[in-house]
């Protein structure tokens, strides 16, 4: 009898822990920063952030398509830009939906050298599933005249009702000497990616 009485309370506590409550974002003069969770209800996903890790996105009313994390300083609260050499990105892409598959996405955007001097070595590339959705994992090394980058990327393809075909990407860009350490944070962010139903009308990312 006591177990029956306590069961609703236990279920509520588990749900509360799985979906943190309260406002997760703060606007700074330069950007929006996220703690605990990055939410994007308009595009059907959220990313749980480890304690002390800050996600960085644009100010409203600029489009909300994802976050950047400084791997060199994950708790950084000042501006983070795509030019940083050690970076994690978690974002969505609706513009490439016509490609139709994660493999087509990486072949278009990741596996082609940007110029004649860039060399790309594919260390691993495999089709996979991520939380029930079609995906691809790729690990590659890019060498240019001035730098060497280690790139790790998960690309997930879904077609949520209301927005249509969408790619969801979790990407690590770092240097070979820091790859092993930075990979550990990348795995936490990747595993924190979750998908939700896109609600009709306006929604809240709090």
CB-side neighbour CA atoms (13 Å) of 77? 7
pTM (two decimals): 0.86
CATH topology of domain 22-195: Protein Transport Mog1p; Chain A (3.40.1000)
Mean pLDDT for all residues in the chain: 88
Close Cβ partners of 28 (under 8 Å, ≥ 6 residues apart)? 77, 78, 79
Q: What is the pLDDT of residue 21?
A: 55
Domain residue ranges of the chain, discontinuous segments joined by +: 22-195
Strand partners, 37: 48
Is 20 a residue whose pLDDT tops 50? no
User: pLDDT digits over 66-108, tens only?
Assistant: 999 999 999 999 999 999 999 999 999 988 888 999 999 999 9
Radius of gyration of the CA atoms of the chain, in A: 18
């Amino acid at each position: 009898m006591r177990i029956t009485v306590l069961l609703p309370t236990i279920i509520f506590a588990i749900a509360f822990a799985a979906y943190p409550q309260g406002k997760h974002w703060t606007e700074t003069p330069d950007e929006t920063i996220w703690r605990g969770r990055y939410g994007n209800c308009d595009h059907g996903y959220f990313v749980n952030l480890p304690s002390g890790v800050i996600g960085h996105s644009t100010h409203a009313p600029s489009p909300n398509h994802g976050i950047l994390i400084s791997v060199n300083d994950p708790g950084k609260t000042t501006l983070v830009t795509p030019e940083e050499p050690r970076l994690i990105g978690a974002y969505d892409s609706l513009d490439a939906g016509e490609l139709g598959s994660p493999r087509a996405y990486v072949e278009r955007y990741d596996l082609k050298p940007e110029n004649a001097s860039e060399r790309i070595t594919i260390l691993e590339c495999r089709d996979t599933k991520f939380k029930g959705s079609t995906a691809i994992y790729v690990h590659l090394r890019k060498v240019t005249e001035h730098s060497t980058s280690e790139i790790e990327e998960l690309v997930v393809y879904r077609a949520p009702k209301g927005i249509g075909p969408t790619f969801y990407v979790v990407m690590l860009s770092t240097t070979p000497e820091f790859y092993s350490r930075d990979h550990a944070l990348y795995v936490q962010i990747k595993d924190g990616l979750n998908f939700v139903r896109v609600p009709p009308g306006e929604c809240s990312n709090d």
